[in-house]
Amino acid sequence: MSHFLPVVTLDGPAGVGKTTLARRMAENLDLPYLDSGAMFRCLALKLGRDAENLPEGELRAQCAQWTFNLAGRGRKSVLLCNGQAVGDEVRTEHVGMLAARIATVPAVREILRAVQRAIGEKSPLVAEGRDMGTVVFPEARFKFFLDALPEVRAARRLRELEERGENAELADLTEQIRKRDALDRNRAVAPLRPARDACVVDTSRLDIQGVLGVMLHHISLHGGRHALAAGMPSAL
């Protein structure tokens, strides 16, 4: 592929550490960071339960009320919905499940894909989600797919919750992760899978710093951050 966009994509299943890693990568490369899952979460929260069952026309009309923008870069990247920063209110497991459900609706994906493309065509970017490298930015310069077994991701989430003083059962977390994986991997439109040209990283035995190191090494082996400059032919 000789034409590419100056975009780094990070795709992978729930709980694999994408958000933290994308933020660190964006900081390292001094680029804006797009959390596409936060867009699905934000719409899911606004539209409420069973939105995936609305007639398409009504769903489109409801979605049209919300506009998304990206401000800042690196650690200071902020996703704005109608001018308001999208915050921790979208980060619950409940909203994650609602998001996974509306994310199976083709019209919702089409609407958000157009917004995500517009952001990526305006500025170099680190973009994180499920279909960033396969569907939204197939010409991204660097693509990563992060994976780990559901049990490993659930154990990590349990540690995070415990560190915040919250209680949870490992078996429940594993079950939630499996359910989300089933929705994300088996949907008809833009299912979760590695792009053909993605660098796949099994994060099971690595911590965040270790995964970041693997990804930055891959980038430096293939032209480094300069290779992200618009218009350079791909060396891959």
Summarize as ranges the residues that interact with ligand DC (CB under 6 A).
Answer: 14, 36-37, 40-41, 96, 99-100, 103, 129-132, 180, 184
- Pick the closer one to ligand DC by CB: 73 or 109: 109
Q: Find, among 25, 18, 6, 11, the residue nearest to 215 by Cα.
A: 25
Rounded least distance, CB 100 to ligand DC, Å: 3
Q: Which amino acid is at 188?
A: A
In one-letter notation, the amino acid at residue 135 is: V
Q: What residues form DSSP beta bridges with 127? A: 9, 34
Q: Minimal distance in Å, beta carbon 130 to ligand DC?
A: 4
**Least distance from C-beta 40 to ligand DC, angstroms?**
4
Least separation in angstroms between residue 103's CB and ligand DC is: 3
* Residue 130 tokens, joined: 């499920």
Choice between 191 and 223, CB closer to ligand DC: 191
Closer to ligand DC by CB, 32 or 227: give it.
32
Q: In terms of CB distance, is 145 or 227 closer to ligand DC? A: 145
Question: C-beta of 157: minimal distance to ligand DC in Å?
Answer: 11
Q: Closer CB to ligand DC, residue 115 or residue 228?
A: 115
Tell me which DSSP letter residue 233 carries. P
Output the CA torsion 186→19→23→118 (10° steps).
40
**Three-state helix/strand/coil letters over 106-124:** HHHHHHHHHHHHHHHHHCC
